[in-house]
Amino acid sequence: MASDIAVQFDGVSARRGGRRVLDDVSLSIRGGEIVALVGRSGSGKTTFLRLINRLMEPDAGEVIVGGRPAREWDPIELRRQTGYVIQDAGLFPHMTVASNIAIVPRLLSWADDRVQARVDELLAMVGLDPGTYRDRWPDQLSGGERQRVGLARALAADQKLLLMDEPFGALDPITKSELHGEFKRLQAALGRTVVLVTHDMAEAFMLADRIAVLSDGKLVACDTPAAVRASPDPRVAALVGPR
Amino acid sequence: MSELVAFIAGHRAEFIARLGEHVILVFASTAIAAAIGIPLGIVAARRPSIAKPIVALANLAQTIPSLALFGFLIPLPFVGGIGTRTALAALTVYAVLPILRGTITGIQGVAAPVIECAVAMGLTPRQILRQVEWPLALPSIVSGLRVAVVIGVGTATIASAIGAGGLGDYIFRGLAMVDSTVILAGAVPAALLALVCDAALALAGRIADPRRRSTPAAAVLAVILIGSTVASVWASGLSGRRDVIVGSKNFTEQIVLGELVAQVMERQGVNVERRFNLGGTAIAHQALISGGIDAYVEYSGTSLTAIFNRPPSTDSSAVYAEIRDRYAALGVTALPRLGFNNTFAMLVRAEDAERMGLKTIGDLNRFAGAKAGFGYEFLERPDGFTGLSAAYGLRLAGQPRTMDLNLIYRAVAAREIDVTAGDATSGQIESQHLVVLDDDRHYFPVYDAVPLVRASVLLQHPTIGEALRRLDGVIAAAEMRRLNYAVDGEKQDPFQVVRAFLDKLGRF
């Protein structure tokens, strides 16, 4: 299962507001792999992510998720099986930490005690004391804490696939590196498939198994961090920087 | 202040009934407006292309002056007519905009990333609405409701003009009687009601806020809402079973005459509901024809010209015969004339009349720079100002001012204007030290007071027809002035004044 193809793009193109933002992209992501999508603003990173859980539809090519074409999935079912984390977490301000984490399990009609147990388990997993944080409100949390809760929420129903759009983008450097460490630790234990959009090359190098470089909607490289670092392609080199 | 408390205490049952009507008007119209405005707002929030025209339309409705809107609705089927239904329709029109706005603002104010996450987590559109957008928009919706209710409490006072009752009855009655205590008996409770409703909804908003969800507050609110609704329904039903609805227009004499007709009926053992202070001849007539009221007293000349569009006449019997036939065709019985002719009277200050020797209307041309001011109707009617100017060749300084009929006497006394057209039977003529100029060219037609009753009511309650016929000619002009003065000048309660008059008359 772990080596199966979790997400596959076959010649995918997509438009946004009439502009082509993704151009004939083909890429396979294996189960349990962390792929970082990097590129300048407007290079198509977020579009790539949104095609996976059908927040957008391609206008050419095919996106295959879990062995099935995405267009054949019921979008609601697909999304409930796919964790989603965005910058500043996107927590619901009118719900407590526990309720935020419990959203998808509740949608899936889990029993109450199972939901409670899962919430506490996840809080502990992301390094927050359940007794302290369970009943807090999102605006009572620091940026780092919010991001941890966002991650816990995305993992709540044991989603195998995690889509992350600049999840650490709004954090200060110290918190960010702390969370990077936590994330690596978690990933070692959980082995999820992760598609991580970032504009921070250091983050990509630190977390990803492979780095996909997008430039003007085209996939210009997809390889291990070491190989990307060594790439002679000027579009890649421009992102990676000198050395 | 103590006078106000005494007045309310003295009219306890009536006051509670009026308050109840007021609360029901506001609650019901806000509820209807919420049922329209919230769903509409939710739809509009998603489609800005629809939102713009909808909000523009609601905005436009908001700018229509309330009395105009009431008048506009009266001839319409279903929502129109006289009384509660029309008032509800108008109040609903006003309440929709703030609720609609609050809803649109609330829904659109939900942060985009929150919605994005909701979609990405697999919430269906309905779940997003119920679990995310609705709770987050609720504070804004509640503030829209608060605005609607406060506007509603204020606007509902005007509903009295079309016979919907409420605290506005006191305001209009007080204006008619030039009695500030009575005005305050409507205005002060209305202001307090607005504050209480606003506070109750603020409390509701606090409860709706998930952060401070508190059971005691919810309980308090539930008690307020249920309590006030029950009390209102009970209070508005307090007037009890009624057989006949008696109306009146909105000036003192009309209230006295309405009271007269009502008490004569009551002395026959008939249950009477009073819908006084209807906002003008057209509204009173419409109410009588549509069954909104069963009886009121009209003036023969007014019927002839303003209702039946006939040329004015100075022949009392001919006018009466004509309108009696015309009313009969409408299913309304014109009972015998009460005895006085409330024609227009051109009034000036007594001191001016003495100083300049003003005796007749024609003498006004000697009153250099005299400023005129008239009620709305007098300027419009064919037998009003235009004809008068022609008949006497009047040359007054500038355009006459339009002012409320109830204020003209005081306006003359206060020297805001110098000449006006009042009622010949107004109690304020003496109390404001005014004199009547002689209509020596017999310009003004007759305005004999005629009780009008729906024929069907007379069939059902034959005794009241007989009783009202006994009023034939019992009120001379001097008597009417005295009754008016007792209310206007001596601030006596119209109910007591009429009761004393009937007791003295001794026919009932």
Q: What is the DSSP string of B437-460?
A: EB-TT--S---BEEEEEEHHHHHH
Q: What is the CATH number of the domain that holds A209?
A: 3.40.50.300
Flag whether A26 is in a domain.
no
Which chain B residue shows the shortest CA-CA distance from A80? B122
Per-residue pLDDT of chain B (508 residues), as tens digits, is: 788 898 888 888 788 888 988 998 999 999 999 999 999 999 999 888 888 888 888 888 888 887 777 777 776 766 666 677 788 888 998 999 999 999 999 999 999 999 999 999 999 999 999 999 999 998 899 899 999 999 999 999 988 887 788 898 888 888 776 678 888 999 999 999 999 988 888 887 777 676 665 566 667 767 777 777 777 666 655 545 578 999 999 888 999 999 999 999 999 999 998 888 888 888 889 889 878 889 999 999 999 988 999 988 888 999 999 999 999 999 999 999 999 998 888 999 999 999 999 999 999 998 888 899 998 778 877 768 888 988 898 888 788 888 887 788 889 999 989 999 988 898 888 888 999 898 888 888 899 999 999 999 999 999 999 999 999 999 988 899 899 999 888 888 899 999 999 999 887 7
Q: Does A205 touch chain B (CB under 8 A)?
A: no
- The CATH label, of 3.40.50.970, 3.40.50.10540, 3.40.190.10, 3.30.300.30, for the domain at B244-341+452-505 is 3.40.190.10
Q: Where are the beta strands (DSSP E) in B257-339?
A: 272-278, 295-299, 332-334
Flag whether A159 is in a domain.
yes
Q: Does A65 touch chain B (CB under 8 A)?
A: no
Residue span(s) of chain B under CATH 3.40.190.10 come to 244-341+452-505
Measured distance CA(A219)–CA(A62) in Å, rounded:
15
Query: What is the structure's pLDDT at B348?
Result: 95
Which chain B residue shows the shortest CA-CA distance from A100? B118
Name the minimum distance, in Å, from the CA of B117 to any CA of chain A. Answer: 6
Q: Does A158 touch chain B (CB under 8 A)?
A: no
Residue span(s) of chain B under CATH 3.40.190.120 come to 344-437
Q: Does A103 touch chain B (CB under 8 A)?
A: yes
The answer to whether B113 contacts A88, with C-beta atoms less than 8 Å apart, is yes
Flag whether A78 is in a domain.
yes
Q: Does A74 touch chain B (CB under 8 A)?
A: no
Name the minimum distance, in Å, from the CA of A171 to any CA of chain B. Answer: 17
Domain tally for chain A? 1
CB contact burial B37-59 (16+ within 10 A = b; e otherwise):
bbebbbebbeeeeebeebbeebe
Q: Does A94 touch chain B (CB under 8 A)?
A: yes
> Which of B116, B122, B132 is closest, CB to CB, to A107?
B122
- In sequence order, the β-bridge partners of residue A14 are A22
Flag whether A89 is in a domain.
yes
- Contacts B117 to A, Cβ<8 Å: 84, 86, 90-92
Whole-model pTM: value is: 0.72
CB contact burial B422-461 (16+ within 10 A = b; e otherwise):
bbbbbbbbbbbebbbbebeeebbbbbbbbbbbbeebbeeb
Measured distance CA(B335)–CA(B157) in Å, rounded:
33
Token pair 């936590």 is found at A182
The answer to whether B117 contacts A90, with C-beta atoms less than 8 Å apart, is yes
Which chain B residue shows the shortest CA-CA distance from A156? B121
Name the minimum distance, in Å, from the CA of B134 to any CA of chain A. Answer: 10
- In sequence order, the β-bridge partners of residue A62 are A10
Measured distance CA(B421)–CA(B364) in Å, rounded:
13
Q: Could you tell me how far CA A184 lies from the centroid of its own chain?
A: 14
Flag whether A134 is in a domain.
yes
Say what the ipTM of the complex is: 0.90
Among B residues 58-117, those touching chain A with beta carbons less than 8 Å apart: 111, 113-114, 116-117
CB A48 within 8 A of CB A55: no
The answer to whether A76 contacts B132, with C-beta atoms less than 8 Å apart, is no
Which chain A residue shows the shortest CA-CA distance from B211? A94
Query: What is the structure's pLDDT at B235?
Result: 61
Flag whether A24 is in a domain.
no
Q: Does A55 touch chain B (CB under 8 A)?
A: yes
- Contacts B124 to A, Cβ<8 Å: 76
Band of residue A58 on the pLDDT scale cut at 50, 70, 90: very high
3-class SS at B317?
A: helix
Q: Does B128 touch chain A (CB under 8 A)?
A: no
Q: Does A60 touch chain B (CB under 8 A)?
A: no
> Which of B123, B127, B210 is closest, CB to CB, to A94?
B210
CB A56 within 8 A of CB A14: yes
Q: Where are the beta strands (DSSP E) in B208-315?
A: 244-249, 272-278, 295-299
Query: What is the structure's pLDDT at B477?
Result: 83
The answer to whether B116 contacts A163, with C-beta atoms less than 8 Å apart, is no
How many residue pairs from chains A and B have C-beta atoms closer than 8 A?
58
Q: Does A93 touch chain B (CB under 8 A)?
A: yes
The answer to whether B120 contacts A79, with C-beta atoms less than 8 Å apart, is yes
The H or E element that residue B229 is part of is: helix B215-236
> Which of B120, B124, B135 is closest, CB to CB, to A53?
B120
The answer to whether A103 contacts B121, with C-beta atoms less than 8 Å apart, is yes
Name the minimum distance, in Å, from the CA of A84 to any CA of chain B. Answer: 6
Flag whether A222 is in a domain.
yes
Name the minimum distance, in Å, from the CA of A237 to any CA of chain B. Answer: 32
Domain that residue A78 falls in: 32-54+74-240
Flag whether A97 is in a domain.
yes
> Which region among A1-10, A38-47, B101-110, B413-422 has the lowest average model confidence (pLDDT)?
A1-10
Dihedral Cα B159, B161, B167, B169, nearest 10 deg? -160
Name the minimum distance, in Å, from the CA of A69 to any CA of chain B. Answer: 18
Q: Does A237 touch chain B (CB under 8 A)?
A: no
What's the CATH code, domain B2-236?
A: 1.10.3720.10
Phi (first) and psi of residue B456, to 5 degrees: -65, -35
Name the minimum distance, in Å, from the CA of A158 to any CA of chain B. Answer: 13
- Contacts B111 to A, Cβ<8 Å: 93
Query: What is the structure's pLDDT at A1?
Result: 40
Query: What is the structure's pLDDT at B78?
Result: 67
CB contact burial B8-29 (16+ within 10 A = b; e otherwise):
beebeebbbbbbbbbbbbbbbb
The answer to whether A95 contacts B210, with C-beta atoms less than 8 Å apart, is yes
C-alpha R_g of chain A: 18
- Contacts A86 to B, Cβ<8 Å: 113, 116-117
The answer to whether A104 contacts B113, with C-beta atoms less than 8 Å apart, is no
Which chain A residue shows the shortest CA-CA distance from B112? A90
Q: For residue range A116-136, list pLDDT tens digits in order.
A: 999 999 999 888 999 999 999
Picking from B110, B116, B121 by the largest number of A CB atoms within 10 A of its own CB, the best residue to mutate is B121
Q: For residue range A198-242, list pLDDT tens digits in order.
A: 988 999 999 999 999 999 999 999 999 999 888 888 888 888 776
CB B8 within 8 A of CB B182: no
The answer to whether A104 contacts B124, with C-beta atoms less than 8 Å apart, is no
Name the minimum distance, in Å, from the CA of B62 to any CA of chain A. Answer: 33
Token pair 């209480």 is found at B196
Q: What is the arithmetic mean of pLDDT over A67-85?
A: 93
What's the CATH code, domain B344-437?
A: 3.40.190.120
What CA–CA distances, in Å, run from A192 to A35, A156, A159? 11, 13, 8
| Residue B191 burial (CB count, 10 A) | 14
The answer to whether A90 contacts B116, with C-beta atoms less than 8 Å apart, is yes
Band of residue A2 on the pLDDT scale cut at 50, 70, 90: very low
